[in-house]
Structure 1
Amino acid sequence: MGGQDKLDFIIKNGTVVLKNEVRVLDIGIKAGKIVQLGEELDGGNAAALQDAAGLTVMAGMIDVHVHLNEPGLGEWEGFETGSAALAAGGCTTYVDMPLNGIPPTVTVNALEQKLAAAKDRSYVDYAIWGGLVPGKLHELIPLHEAGVIGFKAFMSSPGDPSEDAFREVDDYTLFEGMKIIASLNKVLALHAESEPIVAKLGQAMRAEGRLAPADYVASRPIIAELEAINRALFYAEQTGCALHFVHISSEAGIHLITQARGRGLNVTVETCPHYLTLSAADLDRKGAVAKCSPPLRDASEREKLWRAIAEGRVDMISSDHSPCPASMKEADNFFDAWGGIAGAQSSMELVIGEGHVKRGLPLTLLSELLAAGPARRFGLQAAKGEIRIGADADLVLIDLNKSYILEEGQLYQRHKHSPYIGEELHCKVTATYLRGQKVYGEDTGIGESKTGRWVR
């Protein structure tokens, strides 16, 4: 190579997780792209070197389910702190959800406000979900044209009763919305819980004074998840709409979705680290910091989810990072505490630590769930999701031999509560690179430059 072909950067001697194999390789990077993969690349031909001997190098996580709460509710999180936490956890691209912001992203004007809030304030790349809500069907095509990655709808109440908040869909809006979204070749992401079931059970629990964590779990049973999945799949068969089911908590739910795919439906499923590492029994010990919906299930259900992952029946794992001020987790009863787990920074370490270090699942499978699967589903695969020549150099270095106890002071998110504080994580992210630029280092912390871009 001549001097004009000098590389910007080489990561040397890392154990590199490729699509179908894991090999010790050097990675040559130029202009933010992976341009060489090989053994013993010429270090003299690079402006900078990073020795990754003893470390595992993976494609950065693509987290398609995060709530960063801007505009309007930035005091809950915000793009700056949320993206810092994601970067420290090995995530290089995230997709921000349309609710828990005021206004929610259900109009082009609201999208523009969100993009303005994100501009020059994100440490890693991002895309934006639009929302499907009653009374706004006419906004779907303009949002599509403005660049949203897909649409999100709630089949149960999102929990905020105020007029300007995100609303759940009625059946008419869901069916008509699916027709429009199908015509746009976009994906509809669904929070699948039956509102009639969970609302009635919740009312009954409150009326009986049953307000403990176990009562909350009982008020949102797996059957509520299954009923909503079945209804949405039925509508999808009539409309041809592509669906993505978010945060599925049960193996039975995954079974329904994979059965539908076998019938030819265009449908994918995600689960979350909290369903894979915690159980309903943890709620008594941890309290509302571990409250979410659907709720944590029992330990046997957790094992069934891992079995579904090992069998290749889950398409991706996302954080569902849903932060709030700590005061909102404090309530006289469990039903009144805000539901949402703030875990963005821990997702990759939880999945790799629990899935590979402890359970022996292949790193290639876990990389598919964390990066390649999300990239492919949401049209980012040209540049993201894999370590290969021509892809963005979005990389994470992980020490599989380093376990540690998570402490509050290590968290970058705005509000330092997490159900994983005090827990042992079985691997450690040591560095994260976005397009070849280091955005996080274990020793140096988060970098200064916020170079994250909007990915349309």
Structure 2
Amino acid sequence: MTSAFISKRVFVEGHVEPACIVVQDGIIQNIIRGEDFERFDGNSFSQVIDFGTLLLMPGLVDSHVHVNEPGRSEWEGYITATKAAAAGGITTIIDMPLNSIPSTTTLAALEKKVLSARDKCYVDVGFWGGIVPGNEDELLQMLSAGVMGFKCFLIHSGVDDFPAVSRKDLESAFKILQGISVVVLFHAEVDCGCADGKSKDAPEKYATFLETRSEEMEIEAIKMVCEFCIMYSVQCHIVHLSAASALPYIINAKKMGAPLTVETCHHYLSLDAESIPNKATEFKCCPPIREKVNQNALWDALKNGHIDMVVSDHSPCTPNLKLLEYGDFLKAWGGIASVQFGLSLFWTGAEGRGFTLADTVRLLCENTAKLANLEHRKGAIKIGYDADFVIWDPEASFKVTADSIHHRNKITPYLGKELKGVVHMTVVRGSPVFENGRLLTKPTGRFLLNEKTLPETWKSRFNCSVSFTGSNQQRILTIRRQV
């Protein structure tokens, strides 16, 4: 079946214009525009969907999502996480190696995660592996099995089954990964004793928690990341940068040729420390939300190209772990649930600061796809790419309500907030999966595996048939249970 997706506003090749996107078998076959669009005749297509003046642009790629299944599916699971992603115009997520049980730090754990996600995903899903002390012998196995790269922590992760790495652990891992096309992601905070002696007498106050996660913790960690990145020439990526004061070290490392990229998150761009009420632990995350002046500096860094992308770091938990009744910022779980609202959060803050749709696509689609080695098929509207689209109204507004949230637990600091940018439809590989507040299909998302090698043993381990499409750089793996 050949489908035509039409709008008077299609973002293609850096600007907006009337166009028709021709899709067959989930792939963009043609882009009709200009005089050819004026002569467009829909009779030759099996299906024509005309969106009028709604904006059609590439589906978002969120490269930082914690799904938590298997093991902590009461926190979040693939069904609810990918529903929420689809509702927010996200067509691809890359799942972090924690807080599932087991963490994705071995090939066996990766297999369990993939099996757990099978037949549950409304959008396409890829997987990060993890680096922890002592698992260096697992890294190449996980890489050959398809993980997009590896994440590590330089401080306690919040869960004991994903311990932090030392310099020695990093040296062991980087010696193995040197010369391989792979990215290592860093939670860039270290325990530098900065919080010693700080008062902790008022745990219900956000300022008390903020004192325990100083900017110096990020600065010292980022210095280490830059050192390893330059020393080993292994691509490094700093996740969820919150401290703008660390930017000079990042800028200098890039000038020196370090293969370094950086992300920040919607909560750092949308929320500020001065506005967080006492006991409002739904605002707690690590690194923390900082002051307004810091937020403005992060926006400036995005504008100047020093920060490469914006992601959700969707990190939900069950309500009891947020300790909402007590409002204890020091003991509550640190993580913010927001995967559904990333596009609207970004657009609400960005438009008034002079950011364009081209900036939005670059920061939320193109660069996140590139980080996950998906830039040849995701994050843009081009012939040969997956037909992944979000159709939305940048001028319309909505209020975040609990009944509109699709992720499992409805705790989020955005409840009641008015946001600009309403998602009308999300299309994954040519199939509409979300429209005007409701899911349209059963889960049909595919697994995206970084194609280094794909061992034949996957077939027997998963008791499944394996098929894949794509170039020799990337395979899209479809696992179907054998009957």
Question: TM-score with structure 1 length normalisation?
Answer: 0.93
Following the alignment from structure 2 to structure 1, what is the Cα–Cα distance between the partners of residues 367 and 101? 31
Following the alignment from structure 2 to structure 1, what is the Cα–Cα distance between the partners of residues 85 and 170? 31
One-letter amino acid matched to 2:272: S
One-letter amino acid matched to 2:123: V
**Post-superposition CA distance 1:292-313 (Å, at most 9, x none):** 0110011111111111111222
State yes or no: 1:337 paired with 2:332: yes
2:275 to 270, 279, 282: 282
Question: TM-score with structure 2 length normalisation?
Answer: 0.88
2:294 to 301, 306, 311: 301
State yes or no: 1:32 paired with 2:26: yes
Query: CA-atom RMSD, angstroms?
Result: 1.6
Contact 1:179 1:240 in 2 (8 A): no
Residue 255 to residue 397, structure 1, CA distance change in 2 (3 Å): farther
1:233 to 212, 215, 226: 226
1:13 to 7, 25, 37: 7
Alignment of 1:290-369 (within 5 A): 290-330=283-323, 332=326, 333-356=328-351, 358-369=352-363
Structure 1 window deviating more from structure 2 (40-49 vs 25-34): it is: 40-49
Following the alignment from structure 2 to structure 1, what is the Cα–Cα distance between the partners of residues 217 and 99? 23
Tell me what 2:182 maps to: 186
Percent sequence identity is 36
2:419 to 416, 425, 433: 425
1:249 to 233, 242, 252: 242
Tell me what 1:373 maps to: 367
State yes or no: 1:98 paired with 2:91: no
Following the alignment from structure 2 to structure 1, what is the Cα–Cα distance between the partners of residues 278 and 122? 34
Following the alignment from structure 2 to structure 1, what is the Cα–Cα distance between the partners of residues 246 and 56? 33
Unaligned runs of 5+ in 1: 1-6
Shift, 1:204, TM fit? 4.4
**Post-superposition CA distance 1:414-447 (Å, at most 9, x none):** 101111110011110110000010010015x012
Contact 2:377 2:384 in 1 (8 A): yes
> Which secondary structure state, in structure 2, belongs to the residue aligned with residue 402 of structure 1?
strand
Structure 1 window deviating more from structure 2 (258-267 vs 15-24): it is: 15-24
Following the alignment from structure 1 to structure 2, what is the Cα–Cα distance between the partners of residues 270 and 184? 22
Following the alignment from structure 1 to structure 2, what is the Cα–Cα distance between the partners of residues 14 and 115? 40
> Which secondary structure state, in structure 1, belongs to the residue aligned with residue 19 of structure 2?
strand
Following the alignment from structure 2 to structure 1, what is the Cα–Cα distance between the partners of residues 259 and 401? 41
Contact 2:321 2:332 in 1 (8 A): yes
Higher share of residues assigned strand: 2
One-letter amino acid matched to 1:315: D
Alignment of 1:206-217 (within 5 A): 206=200, 208=201, 212-217=205-210
Unaligned runs of 5+ in 2: 450-483
> Which secondary structure state, in structure 2, belongs to the residue aligned with residue 320 of structure 1?
coil
**Post-superposition CA distance 1:141-175 (Å, at most 9, x none):** 111111110000011111224xxx11111111122
Contact 2:230 2:257 in 1 (8 A): no
Following the alignment from structure 1 to structure 2, what is the Cα–Cα distance between the partners of residues 242 and 360? 31
2:173 to 170, 177, 188: 177
How many residues align? The count is 442
Following the alignment from structure 1 to structure 2, what is the Cα–Cα distance between the partners of residues 28 and 377? 27
Residue 362 to residue 33, structure 1, CA distance change in 2 (3 Å): same
> Which secondary structure state, in structure 2, belongs to the residue aligned with residue 183 of structure 1?
coil
Tell me what 1:4 maps to: none
Residue 34 to residue 286, structure 1, CA distance change in 2 (3 Å): farther
Ranges of 4+ aligned residues in structure 1 off by more than 6 Å:
none
Following the alignment from structure 2 to structure 1, what is the Cα–Cα distance between the partners of residues 132 and 48? 50
Higher share of residues assigned helix: 1
**Post-superposition CA distance 1:173-196 (Å, at most 9, x none):** 122212222233210000001123
Tell me what 1:411 maps to: 405
